[in-house]
Amino acid sequence: MDKFIATSPQQLGQILRGFRKQTELTQVAMAEQSGLLQKTISSLESDASQTKVETLYKALAALNLELVLQARPESGDETVNTAEW
């Protein structure tokens, strides 16, 4: 599976939207699976800067994703996939 790096709340939202669309879930369907409101999914995808950690984990679970933390690479090191959705 590809790895995507999010270094900002906006990138995180774009990546989550991409995974949601890849799994062919609507925001409404993802909200039902996660126990969140559709407007919460919309806010998370447009700008995750105000998102609670608990909300993020519910969204990740609905998409069958996990959060992985790693040190930033030194300059000159290769990065993983930074492609935008």
| pLDDT tens column, 27-79 | 999 999 999 999 999 999 999 999 999 999 999 999 999 999 999 888 765 55
Q: What is the rounded CA–CA span in Å between residue 27 and residue 38? A: 6
CATH of the domain at 9: 1.10.260.40
Residue 81 domain boundaries = 1-85
Neighbours of 58 (CB within 10 A): 19
Q: Are 51 and 10 in contact (CB under 8 A)?
A: no
Rounded to two decimals, the pTM is: 0.83
Give me the number of domains the chain comprises. 1
Question: Does residue 7 register a pLDDT over 70?
Answer: yes
Q: For the chain, what percentages of helix, strand and coil (3-state, to nearest 5) are there?
A: 50, 0, 45
DSSP H helices in 1-85: 9-22, 27-34, 38-46, 53-62
Q: What is the rounded CA–CA span in Å between residue 59 and residue 64? A: 9
- Predicted local confidence at residue 73, as pLDDT: 86
- Predicted local confidence at residue 83, as pLDDT: 56
Q: At what angle do helices 27-34 and 38-46 cross, to 10 degrees?
A: 110
